[in-house]
Amino acid sequence: MKIGIIGGGIIGLSSAYYLMQAGHQVTVIDQTDLKDGCSFGNAGMIVPSHIIPLAAPGMITKGIRWMFNSTSPFYVRPRLSGTLIKWGWQFYRHSTKDHVERAAPALKELSLFSKAMYQQLAKELPFDFGFHERGLLMLYQTKETEHEEIEAATFANKLGIEARVLSASEVQELEPEMRVSVRGGVFYPGDAHITPQALVSQWVPYLVNQGVSIQSFTTVEDFVIESGRIKSVKTSKGDFNFDEVVIATGSWSGLLVSKLGITLPMQAGKGYSFTLNDIEKNSRIPSIFLEARVAVTPMGSSLRFGGTMEITGVNHSINMNRVKGIVHAIPRYYPDLNIAMPDKREVWHGLRPCSPDGLPYIGRSKSYSNLVIATGHSMMGLSLGPGTGKLVAEIVGNEKLSVSAAPFNPERF
């Protein structure tokens, strides 16, 4: 079949790969050159340990407390927006223990499946994208966070995700070259990481070489509908006719599907990152500074720091106060790393597509028989990318799904 994928991030590229493998003729349409999306500069973590959705008990209280600190990890820009109010109400409704207990098994299954796909990709792709299975350290400095994280570790172990609670000295043993200042940590040995820009920058030309058509700098303007199907996609470079259409446009998905009369609650959660190069004594294991909500990933001789969740709508302004929060956190956990504020030009930002219940949207539309939606992965897009892409290929091919997509129904709101 002729398949059109709108969106060239990790979800779109993964879908293109598995659809191409299944023998379909694939076209990827993206409004950029595919070199700077949310899949490019993120922390590169593959985290089956992250089974608790963003909408969880305590997040509302923390969010309100953080909102009044300009360097905090979380910020919602106050604005008169009906979509933001509706999203916020749904987020509030889903921030419950019951929701976490329903959502966690679904996230676990998709996460483990996606990690297995990464293991396979590392063997079958003809290039290196820095795939390492070294686990993840969740580092804490306060008694309150220790209590929360031990609870999370107990919950993870119950669901079959291995989690080990470590003392400060045990954390330090895992990091022989980097001095770590913490009360303790939780180690998830089943997690992994990659260098995301190495994957994206090499996967695009590989896909083109395999026959996938990439239509870059192409904006989707509208759709032509006929008999409950998308007959054609109208773009800035002309019309495209497809047998099946996949929408994987991340934070823009809500706006795009509104042209089809579909409601997809979505907010863009802006995150920032910067990378230190040529680190002599580098960290070995990716970590998260829990109190500061900063993600740290070694990538060869480089070290990437990322963080913040800034709900400000789809915009590309860079708030250096948020970056300052990341910078100030680093020496508190890694005392030998006293770094200066990066230049604004060195700061990368990406817009994470956040659903109000913390679960992605993956599945066939009920409204259009040839439309599949794959978006809303929040901070987990890279982690869940290949698993989602494989599911998309199975949905398009009407095959038995490797994991259930029922909890990710794109028209559940």
Lowest-pLDDT choice from 7-11, 25-29, 86-90, 300-304: 86-90
Amino acid sitting at position 139: L
Please give the pLDDT value at position 38.
66
Average pLDDT over residues 35-55: 85
Going from the N-terminus, what domains does the chain have, and what CATH number goes with each? 2-408 (3.50.50.60)
309 has pLDDT over 80: yes
Of residues 39 and 380, more confidence is placed in 380
For residue 26, give Cα distances in angstroms to 10, 221, 300, 387: 15, 20, 33, 18
pLDDT at 70 over 70: no
**Residue 138 main-chain phi, psi, to 5 deg:** -100, 110
Average pLDDT over residues 277-303: 94
pLDDT at 62 over 80: no
| pLDDT over threshold 90, residue 156 | yes
Q: What is the pLDDT of residue 68?
A: 63
pLDDT value at residue 314: 81
- 80: confidence class by pLDDT, cuts 50, 70, 90: confident
Is pLDDT at 60 greater than 80 in this prediction?
Answer: no
Cα–Cα distance measured from residue 299 to residue 44, given in angstroms and rounded to the nearest whole number: 9
Three-state secondary structure call for residue 227: coil
pLDDT in tens, 172-229: 999 999 999 999 999 999 999 999 999 999 999 999 999 999 999 999 999 999 999 9
State in Å, rounded, how far the first CA of the chain is from the last one: 30
Helix, strand, coil percent content, the chain, rounded in steps of 5: 35, 25, 40
Q: Is the pTM of this model over 0.85?
A: yes
Which of 404, 403, 272 lies closest to 345 in space, CA to CA? Answer: 272
| pLDDT given at position 313 | 76
Q: pLDDT value at position 55?
A: 76
Mean pLDDT within 290-314: 90
- 108 by DSSP, 3-state: which? helix
Average pLDDT along the chain: 93
Cβ atoms of 313 and 79 closer than 8 Å: yes
Q: What is the pLDDT of residues 353-397, one digit of tens each?
A: 999 999 999 999 999 999 999 999 999 999 999 999 999 999 999
Mean of the pLDDT values across residues 29-53?
88
Q: Does the pLDDT value for residue 67 go beyond 90? A: no
Q: Quick one: what percent of the chain has pLDDT higher than 70?
A: 96
> Quick check: 37 pLDDT over 70?
no
